[in-house]
Amino acid sequence: MRQKLPITNRRSRRGVLKTAVVLAGAAGVLRLSLRPAAATPEMLVDAIRGVVGEVPVNKGKVKLDLPPLVENGNSVPCTVSVESPMTAANYVKAIHVFNEKNPQPYVIGVKLGPRAGRAAFSTRIRLADSQTVTAIAELSDGSFWSDQIDVIVTLAACIEETH
Amino acid sequence: MKGFAAASALLIVAVSSALAVDIPLDQRHSDAEFISAGTRAMQNDETQNPGMLTVLDGETLWNAKAGSSGKSCADCHGDARVSMKGVAARYPAFMPSQGRPVDLEQRINLSRVNDQNAMPLAFESADLLALTAYVARQSFGIPVAVVNDVQSKPFIEQGRTLFERREGQINLSCAQCHDDNWGKNLAASVIPQAQPTGYPIYRLEWQAVGSLQRRLRSCMIASRAEPYDYGAPELVDLEFYLLWRARGLPIETPAVRP
Amino acid sequence: MARALINVPKTAKRGDVIEIKTLISHIMETGYRIGVTGQPIPRDIIDDFVCLYNGEEIFRAQLYPAIAANPYISFFTVATASGTMSFTWTDQHGKSQVQIAEITVE
């Protein structure tokens, strides 16, 4: 096990920061933003409707795990687990993940069955911006359950120009 | 997003006039300790670490014949797990034939040219990164042990001079962040000590594996300085100083960094 | 072909729930980035991943551009019998890569 650095203690020991670091605007360096348009709320609703149909989506049973503060949106660890006995009579059929502000709302959809034993998967996702991420599980009885998390995506202080 | 960030990441830094002081040896930490738990987990689990895919590519290249000699690395060096163990921990190193230090990438290329009669691989090419990562992986866990002897010393000192020299539009030296202010925040990131123990690294920003020279150039670009060309003596001197500065810390190639 | 890493336990007890981890080298180009020439870089992603256990599908994923470069996917299955697990990644052009792992179930 690595020991976590006592950064806070260290900082207080050192006392007041002598260095003032300020993020300034684009003074002197003008670059066009290359960022594509984000998905609209309608696109998100449509994407979810495309999976769920008109069935109501309940809150609960699903646990979406994402770090609340992301240090780089290019690769964000994402785990979804669903409470389920995973028996032939009662299991999770599918899990879907949606995001709010990437160009496309659908992130991943997985199909599983009682043979999984445990209704969970992990992957790494891209988040273009701070936003809400939604996971929806489809159970064998036709019901849908969900969880939502707000994620803050920070930008690294030092970023290289695009190559 | 990146274009915008690059534009807005212009830093105005008012630094105290205190002289840069070396980090005491017992207060040095791997940069892995300054990254998020999720990124650290990605590094530590071989099946989650994309750098391991590069290491595997390197293993294939190690055993592949190259150049007019028709020889592979393995034909001379045998099993890298034995012959390359600890080697990367001693690079950069002074090469008498060159009259100056070379880094691991350059050392591999010297062997390609002189022993395999092959063309040198381009800096930052997939093949050079893969071979370097594979060789460096054989030193995983071994403490950095670059040699600072009479021949090496002037180059290490030159690297230190470059590390401590202010440069670029922001007029910032490496040392101002990584010696004087490590552990503090720069925007949302914690400033690491810049201990380059895990190169080549898989960097989330790059979404790819890259070399220490690429990382140094990135830092220069971010501080609005003119980066040195790949292979420039200044970059190798900087690498040499940085690895000497990291002496004793274990190699962790392939590291994962944000 | 792309490099892949699979982590399947070599042995398991019958009925155990085991974790399977997979990683494959792929750029997962979103199609939303602009290249140095000012032109959009064309989308190039793996969009389908499937795991068969002794020929039976036990897990399938539909991937979109929001999956990070070098896709990592881990999931679970019940160790039912000794045999073969196959992992197939298919990109948007229909090109597939298959990787095989053996498991012994006692």
Contacts of A118 in chain C (CB under 8 A): 17, 76
Which among B181, B231, B242, B203 is positioned nearest to B42, based on CA atoms?
Answer: B203
CA distance A6 to chain B (A): 9
Taking the C-alpha atoms of residue A80 and residue A95, their distance in angstroms, rounded to an integer, is: 8
Residue C98: CB partners within 8 Å, gap ≥ 6?
C86, C87, C88
| Subunits in contact with chain B (3 or more CB pairs closer than 8 Å) | A, C
Residue whose entry in the numeric block shows the structure tokens 């030193």 = B139
Taking the C-alpha atoms of residue B97 and residue B101, their distance in angstroms, rounded to an integer, is: 10
Tokens encoding B93: 């190193």
Would you give per-residue pLDDT tens digits along chain B (258 residues)?
A: 444 444 444 444 444 444 568 999 999 999 999 999 999 999 999 999 999 999 999 999 999 999 999 999 999 999 999 999 999 999 999 999 999 999 999 999 999 999 999 999 999 999 999 999 999 999 999 999 999 999 999 999 999 999 999 999 999 999 999 999 999 998 888 999 999 999 999 999 999 999 999 999 999 998 899 999 999 999 999 999 999 999 999 999 999 999
Selecting from B49, B52, B207 the residue whose C-beta is nearest the C-beta of C69 gives B207
Taking the C-alpha atoms of residue A160 and residue B140, their distance in angstroms, rounded to an integer, is: 28
CA distance C96 to chain B (A): 18
CB distance from B189 to chain A under 8 Å? yes
Contacts of C22 in chain B (CB under 8 A): 47
Q: How many CB atoms lie within 10 A of CB B21?
A: 9
Residue B33: CB partners within 8 Å, gap ≥ 6?
A2, A3, A4, A5
Q: What global pTM score does this model have?
A: 0.88
CA distance A22 to chain B (A): 5
Taking the C-alpha atoms of residue B61 and residue B108, their distance in angstroms, rounded to an integer, is: 12
Where helices occur in B121-202 by DSSP H, the ranges are: 126-137, 153-164, 174-178
Tokens encoding C57: 């599908």
HSE-up (13 A, CA, CB side) for residue C63: 32
* A88: enclosing H helix or E strand: none
Most B-contacting residue of A71, A101, A126 (CB-CB within 10 A), to test interface: A71
Contacts of C62 in chain A (CB under 8 A): 108-110
Comparing alpha-carbon positions, the chain A residue that sits nearest to C30 is: A103
What residues of B act catalytically?
219
- At B29-82, the pLDDT tens digits run 999 999 999 999 999 999 999 999 999 999 999 999 999 999 999 999 999 999
pLDDT of residue C7: 98
**C61–A111 CB contact, under 8 Å:** yes
Percent of chain A with pLDDT strictly greater than 70: 72
CA distance B170 to chain C (A): 25
Contacts of B207 in chain C (CB under 8 A): 27, 68-70
Comparing alpha-carbon positions, the chain A residue that sits nearest to C20 is: A121
CB distance from C37 to chain A under 8 Å? no
